[in-house]
Amino acid sequence: MVILTLNCGSSSAKYQVYDWEARDVLAVGIVEKVTIGGSFINHKVKGREEITINHDCPTHVDAVDLIIKTLTDKERGCISDMSVIGAVGHRVAHGGDKFTKSVIVDDAALEAFNKIGDLAPLHVPPQMLGVQAAQKVLPNVPHCAVMDTAWHQTMPPESYLYAVPYEWYEKYSVRRYGFHGTSFLYTAKRAAVLLGKDPFQTNLIICHLGNGSSINAVKNGLSFDTSMGITPLEGLIMGTRSGDADPALAFYVMRKTGMSAAEIESALNKKSGLLGICGKPDRRDIQKAKLEGDKMALLAQDMEAYRVKKYIGAYQAALGRVDALVFTAGVGEFAFFMREKILAGLEESGIVYDPRKNGMSHTRNTETIISKDGSKIPIYVIPTDEELVMTEDARALMAGTYDVHTHFTYSFQSKDYVNKGRAESLKGELEKHPELKEIIAVPG
């Protein structure tokens, strides 16, 4: 049986095709510039070169239809026809406080998502369009929603409530929800495997650093606190998002400039963060500019690293005992120069990184350990795999075996788990960089 996962954004549709029996990825890809013109699909089948096909997609229905046609194409595809697809898993950014785990999408679920759409207006509406588009193209297949917020539903009230009128929570669901939950679930379970510990006796600080970034404090295997809030704007400095700021800042700028609430919201989400400081949202471009002497690029890096460092310290205090510090997502996995800035000076708190190991770790094909021998708190770099979580949730929902993660065991929780695609790619990487073998993390 084959499981398709879809991650629809406002102008994109990302996908993965997974062969459940073989436990292997058959194809991955993304349709970009959906609804805005000039659409194209980047499509990669296992064992073949990636291809790009230009194809106009004025709606998400067109994008999903393009994905299906590409997957079943005799020359470019990876499956014979749609009958082999047993389930579709959809990433949904916000589940409010209605969902504590993944669900099969029925009319009741769609109604609930539509009601909470205003909690994440930049994310949920386009994702619902993607769900409905996929249902039209694949009407006889179970569709499952996997929420970024579900993982964080274990947070206690002192973590998720804001110090605002309590009736705002009662009437309007104003509270901290947190995001990146699928990534945190995967990396938390994998960290427990590497440590050789029961996941529900494991305390972690996980840094999911990408264009959007957040930190999660995991206490006894459960989300205890997280940096993002009612929306993905709160917390760390991100590519284009401001992160933490005085709430009165918005009112001050509105009075000074005459900007509307919508304009302020757009500026904080799309024109702030690293872009607002140095004019560049991509850490690779910022690193290049810094090395060329750009002082604003250096300032942006210092600000981002300092914000992460502050959260690590806060979560150490909140957890008491920390069994490991974990880096994941694009920046966390590859930007060794950012990890260096974040980790420098944390020695007194028991977090001691090895500069050489850190410099060698920039791969998505294996889990690495970058702490110095003897560091009280080990530091892992764990490549995330949100698509696998979505795949396993969808398969279990279809089979009737799924439950909340405290009563459900994933395949990647086994010491013997192997990601076949990554393992194959690692062989070639080790031929070019044999020294990488020194820092590969081994299950405890």
pLDDT in tens, 196-206: 999 999 999 99
**Using CA atoms, how far apart are residues 20 and 312, in angstroms rounded to an integer?**
37
Q: What is the mean pLDDT of residues 431-438?
A: 95
Quick check: 149 pLDDT over 70? yes
Taking the model in full, what pTM does it have?
0.93
Residue 234, φ and ψ in degrees, nearest 5:
-75, 155
**Using CA atoms, how far apart are residues 11 and 91, in angstroms rounded to an integer?**
15
Distances (CA, A) of 235 to 168, 198, 238, 262, 342: 21, 29, 9, 20, 15
**Using CA atoms, how far apart are residues 99 and 147, in angstroms rounded to an integer?**
8
Quote the pLDDT of residue 308: 98
| Chain region(s) in the chain for CATH 3.30.420.40 | 2-147, 181-382
Helices (H), 292-351: 295-319, 329-334, 336-343
Tokens of 227: 């940096």
How would residue 169 be classed by pLDDT, with cut points 50, 70 and 90? very high
- The CATH classification number of 2-147 equals 3.30.420.40
Quick check: 16 pLDDT over 90? yes
Quote the pLDDT of residue 10: 66
Quote the pLDDT of residue 136: 82
Catalytic residue (choose from 62, 148, 225, 393)? 148
Portion of the chain with pLDDT greater than 90, in percent: 78
Quick check: 375 pLDDT over 70? yes
Residue 186 DSSP symbol: H
**Using CA atoms, how far apart are residues 370 and 358, in angstroms rounded to an integer?**
5
What digits encode the pLDDT tens for the residues 317-333? 999 999 999 999 999 99
Mean pLDDT of the chain: 93
What's the gap between Cα 150 and its chain centre?
13
How would residue 157 be classed by pLDDT, with cut points 50, 70 and 90? very high
148 among known catalytic residues: yes
Does residue 420 contact residue 19 with C-beta atoms inside 8 Å?
no
Select from 204, 267, 205, 213 the least CA-distant residue to 239. Answer: 213
Quote the pLDDT of residue 122: 67
pLDDT greater at residue 125 or residue 175: 175
Helices (H), 55-123: 60-72, 107-115
Quote the pLDDT of residue 128: 83
**Using CA atoms, how far apart are residues 370 and 377, in angstroms rounded to an integer?**
11
What digits encode the pLDDT tens for the residues 85-103? 999 999 888 888 888 899 9
- The CATH classification number of 181-382 equals 3.30.420.40
Tokens of 333: 């996995």
